[in-house]
Structure 1
Amino acid sequence: MTALPRVLWPLLFGNFVIGTGVMAVPGTLNEISTSMQVPVSTAGQLISAAATLMCLGAPLLAGIVAGWDRRRLLALSMLWYGLLHLACAFAPGFGWLMAMRVLAVISPAIFTPQAAACVGLLVPPEQRGRAITFIFVGWSVASVLGMPLAAFIGGTVGWQAAFILVAVLSFVTALWVWRAMPDGVKPPALSLAAWRQTFGSSALMLTVAVTLLYSAGQFVLLSYFAPYFRQTLGTTPGELSLLFLVFGASGFIGNVLMSRHIERVGVHRGVMLAVAPMAVSLLAFPLGTSFALAMLVLVPWGLGCFSSNSAQQARLVSIAPSLAAGSIALNSSAMYAGQAIGAGSGGWLIANSGFGLLNWAGFVAMLLAMAVSAWATSRATRPA
């Protein structure tokens, strides 16, 4: 198997930093709630507000930055990420933190989809699927190292220290991307006709809908892992970090397996193999009545959490390679919309009925995602 080019490594690392920053809020939600003197359900709206911006920003910014050199675009987006995380760390109140957090996540709306969209210009066609899933390993590494580390630092030193760590890593990424990326990488901008073709493709739109559904299904509970486990199991910051570590390690393994075997199992089957174990975990979640059982229940979820998005990106490229810039941006938008819907719904459920219904709401969303995924496969594979 031919080795992938080294230029993909800073893109992988960039996704690691992006993922760590995005997941820093769920990992430190208890500390933010206490520090800012707001209920957990209110603090959780940091996730919803940021996800809404990322949802709307991904496709809009894809059009705005279409002609930009990707070396400059990706480096500047990470520089912005670092500066705004510093601003978050020194926020004097919850309103200021909310505003700075929303501005910070302009970077994920740019970096993740645009890094994936430019991969086709950095590798030969036969490596495209493997290269896209490779750079998304960064998100699963963030779940292994970034999210547990943020939770541990937040619980022992303070959530501000976790945000400062993300800022430092962002500056490192900006420098690495600037040094490693070649000049002149400019994926062709989608014309209005191409956007119409993208929105008019039932296979692409159904695939994007799958991302929306499984993202909402995850974040209705994932957003509130920290307060959920503190209330149900009485976890300490160290124990919470260990739970995140188990979840993240499973995510890393799942993404590596998907990256290695996506070409053999096929992109459509790969998505289903990622979503199904997440549904199993959500169904079994009430069985996690001890620390050991909770870790066990999280493993299938972790295996599918990040590998599902990697497989979805490769799936979109395989359905319509010429429309990848638009479809991947829309998929990122759907992922963030799902996060907003899930976090908002989870906060509403907690405020009105506690934590007991979160896993069931997520399980229903996963079943819908699997049904729509099968529909998308039938549309994508039917004879022209």
Structure 2
Amino acid sequence: MTALPRVLWPLLFGNFVIGTGVMAVPGTLNEIGESLAITPAAAGQLISAGAILMCIGAPLCAAFVAGWDRRRLLAYSMVWFAVFHLACAAAPDFGTLLPLRVLALLPPAVFTPQAAACIGLLVPPQQRGRAVTFVFLGWSVASVLGMPLAALVGGTFGWRTVFACVAVLAAIAAAWVWRAMPDGVKPPALSLASWKQTFRSRPLMLCVLVTVLCGAGQFTVFAYFAPYMRQRLGASAAELSAIFLWYGVFGFLGNVLVSRYIERWGVHRAVMVTTGLMGVSMLLLPLGTSIVLMAVVIVPWALGCFSMNSAQQARLIGIAPSLAAGSVALNTSAIYAGQAIGAGGGGWLITHMGMGALGWAAAAWIALAMIASAMATRAAFASAPSPAGA
């Protein structure tokens, strides 16, 4: 198996920093709520509001930055990430923190989709699927190291320290991307006709719908997992960090397995299997009545979470390589749309029905995602005699 180019490593690290920054709030939701004297549902607005910006920003940024050199674009986006996380760390109250957090999450709408979209210019076609999933390993590493460390550091030193650490990591990522990326990497801009073609593609739009539904299912639970663990299991900061670490290890393992075997399994099958694994955990969530049992329950969810996102990106690129810049941006937008829907819906459920309703609602979202995925597979095969990844 031919080795992937070394230029992909700073892109992987950038996704690690992005993932750590995005997941810093769920990991420190208890500390943010206590420090600023707000409820978990109110603190959850930091997740839903930021997700809305990332949802809207991904396709808009894809159009706005179409002609930019990717070395500069990706490096500058990480500088922005660093500056605004420092500003968040200094925010005196929730009213100040909320808009700063929203602005801090503009780079995820840029870096992740644009790093994926430029891979076609950095690797040969036969390595494209593996390269995309490799770069997305950064999110899995963030779940292994970033999220549990955020929970531990936040519980020990406070959430402001976590935001400051993210700022330092973002500065390092900016410097590495600037040094490693070649000049002149400019994926072709999508014309208006290409955008129309993307939106009119039934397979692509069904894939995007799958991402929305999966995100809604996961973030119905994930956005409030820290308060869920504290209220229902009495978890300490150290125990919560250990659970996040456990989740991250299996998330990383799932992404590695998909990255290694996706070309053998096929992208459509990989998406369906990883989505189904997440649904299993949501159904079993009420059985997590202790720290140990909860650790067992979340294993399928962890195996499917990040690997599903990676497989989805490869699926979109395989269905229509010429539309990848638009479809990948829309899929990134869909990830954050799902997060906003899940976090908002989860907050409503906590207020009106309690924590116990989260798992059942999440399972319903995942079931809808599996139905949409089956429809996307049929549409992909119907639209092309030999779709990529079949």
**Structure-1 residue corresponding to 2:188:** 188
Distance in 2 (CA, whole Å) between partners of 1:162 and 1:302 is 23
Aligned counterpart, 1:127? 127
Deviations 1:329-353 (A, max 9, x none): 0000000000000000000110111
Q: Equivalents in 1 of 2:338, 2:263: separation in Å?
A: 27
CA distance in 2, matches of 1:199, 1:382: 17
Q: Distance in 1 between matches of 2:207 and 2:362?
A: 19
Task: Identify the residue that residue 83 of structure 1 maps to in structure 2.
Answer: 83
Alignment of 1:6-25 (within 5 A): 6-25=6-25
Matches within 5 A, 1:16-35: 16-35=16-35
Q: Structure 2, unaligned stretches of length 5 or more? A: 385-390
Per-residue Cα deviation, 1:123-178 (whole angstroms, up to 9, x for no partner):
00000000000000000000000000000000010000011110000000000000
1:373 aligned partner: 373
Q: Report the AA paired with residue 308 of structure 2.
A: S
How does the TM-score come out when normalised to structure 2? 0.98
The two structures have a TM-score, normalised by structure 1, of 1.00
Aligned to 1:243: 243
User: Which secondary structure does the structure 1 equivalent of 2:203 belong to?
Assistant: helix
Cα distance in 2, alignment partners of residues 38 and 298 from structure 1: 28
Equivalent-residue separation in structure 1 for 2:221 and 2:360 (angstroms): 9
- Note the C-alpha offset of 1:383: 5.4
Which residue is 2:136 aligned to?
136
Residues 1:374 and 1:175: Cα distance change in structure 2 (over 3 Å): same
Structure 1 residues 161-209: Cα deviation after superposition (integer angstroms, max 9, x where no partner): 0111100000000000000000000000000000000000000000000
Q: Distance in 2 between matches of 1:341 and 1:237?
A: 27
Written as runs of structure 1 = structure 2, the 5 A alignment for 1:1-384 is 1-382=1-382, 384=384
Q: Deviations over 1:268-300 (max 9, x none)?
A: 001011101100000000001111000011111
Q: Deviations over 1:232-290 (max 9, x none)?
A: 11010000000000111110000000100010000000101110110000000000111
> How many angstroms apart in 1 are the aligned matches of 2:274 and 2:76?
33
> 1:8-49: CA deviations, max 9, x gaps?
000000000000000000000000001111111000010000
Mapped partners of 1:35, 1:291: distance in 2: 25
What is the rounded CA distance, in whole Å, between the counterparts of 1:285 and 1:36 in structure 2?
A: 29
Alpha-carbon distance in 2 for matches of 1:329, 1:383: 22
The alignment partner of 2:4 has SS state of: coil
How far apart are the structure 2 equivalents of 1:277 and 1:168?
Answer: 35
Q: Counterparts of 1:319 and 1:277 in 2: how far apart (Å)?
A: 24
2:49 partner amino acid: A
Cα offset for 1:95?
1.0
> Which whole-Å CA distance do the structure 2 matches of 1:106 and 1:229 have between them?
30
Distance in 1 of aligned mates of 2:99 and 2:272: 37
2:269 and 2:340 mapped to 1: Cα distance? 27
- Equivalent AA in structure 2 for residue 64 of structure 1: F
Using the alignment, how far apart are the partners of 2:338 and 2:291 within structure 1?
A: 28
CA RMSD of aligned residues (A): 0.5
**Partner Cα distance (1:348, 1:95) in 2:** 21
Cα separation, 1, equivalents of 2:348 and 2:340:
12
Q: Return the letter of the residue paired with 1:199.
A: F
C-alpha distance in 2, partners of 1:368/1:249? 27
Amino acid of the residue matched to residue 228 of structure 1? Y
Per the TM alignment, residue 75 of structure 1 is displaced from its structure 2 partner at its CA by 0.2
Residue 42 of structure 2 aligns with an amino acid whose one-letter code is T
Query: Which runs of 5 or more structure 1 residues have no equivalent in the other structure?
Result: none
Following superposition, the deviation at residue 382 of structure 1 comes to: 1.5
SS in 2 for 1:382: helix
Measured in 2, the distance between the counterparts of 1:262 and 1:171 equals: 33
Distance 2:285 2:357 in 1: 11
Tell me the matched-pair count: 384
Mapped to 1, the partners of 2:366 and 2:298 lie a distance apart of 15
Per-residue CA shift, 1:57-78, capped at 9, x if unaligned?
A: 0000100000000000000000
Q: Which amino acid aligns with 1:381?
A: F
SS at match of 1:306: helix
Q: Distance in 2 between matches of 1:141 and 1:337?
A: 23
Distance in 1, Cα, partners of 2:361 & 2:353:
13
Q: Distance in 1 between matches of 2:309 and 2:286?
A: 26
- Aligned partners of 1:121, 1:208: CA distance in 2, in Å? 23
Q: Which amino acid aligns with 1:250?
A: F
